[in-house]
Amino acid sequence: MTVDMSQFYEVFFEEAAEHLASMESLLLKLDIHAPDPDELNAVFRAAHSIKGGSGTFGFTDMTGVTHILENLLDKIRKGELALRQEMIDVFLEAGDVLKGQLDAHRSGGAGVDEATVEHVCAVLAKMAGEDAAPVAAPPPNVTPKQGRSRFHLAFKRVAKAKLENLLRELAGNGDLKVQEESGNENLSIMLDTALSESDLLEMIQYVVSLKQVVLATGEIDPAEFAREAFGFFEGNPGAPEAPPVAEEGDGFGLFVSPAELKSQQEADEGFGLFDDAPGMEQIKQVAAAAPSKPLAAAPAKTVTPATANAEGASIRVSVEKVDQLINLVGELVITQAMLAQTTANVDPALYEVLLNSVSQLERNTRDLQESVMSIRMMPISFVFSRFPRVVRDVATKLGKQVELRTIGEGTELDKGLIEKIADPLTHLVRNSLDHGIETPEKRIAAGKNPKGTLTLRASHQGGNIVIEVSDDGGGLSRERILAKAKEKGIPVSDSITDQEVWLLIFAPGFSTAEVVTDVSGRGVGMDVVKRNIEGMGGRVELDSKTGTGTRVTIRLPLTLAILDGMSVAVGDEIFIIPLNYIIESLQPAEHDVKTVASDGRVVNVRGEYLPLVALHGLFNIRPKTRDPSKGILVIIESDGAKAALLVDELVGQHQVVIKSLETNFRKVRGISAATIMGDGKVALILDMVALVRMSRNLS
């Protein structure tokens, strides 16, 4: 039966993407003058793993690039070549090429331009002192070793069709003769090639992982083969003093100990042991020392013991399954709230056991809810990790020296927010690099360090995550912003506060850039950033000081699935106000409420007049009272502006499970979502941003 390799593609795609991200991160941290040997080895291993996996699945375009990349990295880590800045540049370009090729195989897209691939490969080969290999059909495992060797590969009970990829690669690397023994599925291969032992073993290792066990004999050193086959982990490159023991999750801990096999027949099938093969006793000894473990179906990879332990303690689960679990837990929370409300009026003396059980259910439900929500929580380092490359490339293009600092990378937030926050943060970072941080000449003239600093900081504050993007650049110019606002016809006064001036840059099409570049200057971006942040239930704040720098602060809820809210009553209806927008609640005196033009009203709160928004008027509800002095005012703040919402009463504070109103009904002005209360009724969650904007028109 032929093994369908496509079933393992997704595993390879995910692992290759992780290796590429790791490789880029390590390259950006390398000290050109004194590179860390461990970091160089880690970069080499990442390229090596991608090469092996891509060769196994027949992605020869990726194999060709990684082969040339690996050769250059190998010479650098062995000290044969000195690391230079231009090498880092071309390594990063090669990483971009591999990302493009990986995306093409994953999504079936057009892939990377062939001229770009050839250029990168030619530069890599030139740096390594080699001629660039043809990119269209690269020899996947050729090494510069001189001379040829003859190898004998013996496969036991395996169909030739199962080895198509391997045979195709072997045929491209030498003279190959394949003989199938009659009456069974044994295969005998003779290969005359310039391949080294290590390259040959690299090619056959994935055959083993697919339960097609191979024995190599001939001119391969048996001790070398044993160590390579069974000890695929980091260690002394010399022969080990004792047989290596495979760690859990090792790239090549894929053999089952003969002592634990049920029969000699299984031993023959599991190892393809030919007793007359040279060095067989040494291989048997090493195999016997390896612990029993299941055969891996995914491509093997070289990992450190620490990484192996981490992988052994985690599993890959699709986002759809996690979302389904979160939805079910949300329904359980609603059901628990219904039970709690139903039992709230029973006699505690008669139903003590029932009430205790409901209380226990409430505690367990809350714990379950928090545990399930934590599954979707991811460290913000998934976003921060992309910016070292962005900062490096943009700063180089602008001729600036910039140091990136990241603080709080372990701060967690919902995966949905992780995906949505990346683009706004990228725009803010590029803005800081282009408009904020000055050129080295200007910084020196201002008495600053020629190298600017861009800081990304994340932290938890209450039920929110706070992300800051700050720089020590020239800051915003109040005069330039006001002049630009007047030029665009925005009504402004010279007496407005600095905070109000800074908010002008969020106006659509607003830009103070004198020259439009490919980095920024078109006036498109900051308004989109603000709109996207508010769409996630967050808000953005800006603070700047001329000559000192600028700080943009983003406040977001930890998750998009559950929020802490205050339930308020208006007539017979219940509305939910997100807690992070509420400043205070109060009952005003009658003389504090003033009527302005038309039917608009404002309320005096400690000397500050705020627009008064009557919810019953917005949603056409019959309230219990229309007099603000007999109702409750909830003071909210959004978008740097405040408003007072008139409600009948405050019902309580609690967590609510967010349900999309637009998906289940339609979009309603002033409403962001809905939830189900304990009594089974639907309560609407108010859209604070929309209500504040509406209040400006009402006041």
What is the distance between the alpha carbons of residues 72 and 662, in angstroms, rounded to a whole number?
55
The three-class DSSP label of residue 555 is strand
Handedness of CA 662, 665, 668, 670 (dihedral sign): negative
Q: What is the 3-state secondary structure (H, E, C) of 468-528?
A: EEEECCCCCCHHHHHHHHHHCCCCCCCCCCHHHHHHHHHCCCCCCCCCCCCCCCCCCCHHH
Angle at 278 between CA 273 and CA 279, to 5 degrees: 80
Closest CA to 229 of 208, 256, 258: 208
Q: Which two tokens stand for residue 224?
A: 């070398």
- Enumerate the β-bridge partners of residue 189: 153, 178
**Known active-site residue 427:** no
Q: Which of the 8 DSSP states describes residue 300?
A: P
Contacts of residue 454, defined as CB under 8 A and 6 or more positions apart, other chains included, come to 391, 402, 403, 404, 405, 429, 432, 433, 436, 437, 469, 470, 471
Catalytic option among 71, 141, 173, 431: 431
- Beta carbons of 464 and 556 less than 8 angstroms apart: yes
Would you tell me the crossing angle of helices 352-375 and 319-342 to the nearest 10 degrees? 160
CA dihedral 673, 678, 680, 685 (to 10 degrees): -10
Catalytic option among 48, 105, 435, 616: 48
- Beta carbons of 454 and 471 less than 8 angstroms apart: yes
What is the distance between the alpha carbons of residues 249 and 304, in angstroms, rounded to a whole number?
9
**Known active-site residue 431:** yes
Closest CA to 42 of 203, 234, 244: 234
What is the distance between the alpha carbons of residues 54 and 60, in angstroms, rounded to a whole number?
7
Q: Which amino acid is at 262?
A: K
- Enumerate the β-bridge partners of residue 604: 609
The three-class DSSP label of residue 207 is helix
Residue at token pair 């602060």: 553
- Beta carbons of 223 and 216 less than 8 angstroms apart: no
What is the distance between the alpha carbons of residues 641 and 637, in angstroms, rounded to a whole number?
6
What is the per-residue DSSP string for 319-344?
HHHHHHHHHHHHHHHHHHHHHHHHGG
CA dihedral 618, 620, 622, 624 (to 10 degrees): -10
Catalytic option among 24, 70, 247, 573: 70
Closest CA to 575 of 694, 462, 661: 661
- Beta carbons of 286 and 225 less than 8 angstroms apart: no
**Known active-site residue 241:** no
- Beta carbons of 378 and 349 less than 8 angstroms apart: no
Sheet containing strand 671-676, edge to edge, reads 649-657, 562-570, 573-578, 682-686, 671-676
What is the distance between the alpha carbons of residues 414 and 412, in angstroms, rounded to a whole number?
7
Q: Which residues are catalytic?
A: 48, 70, 431
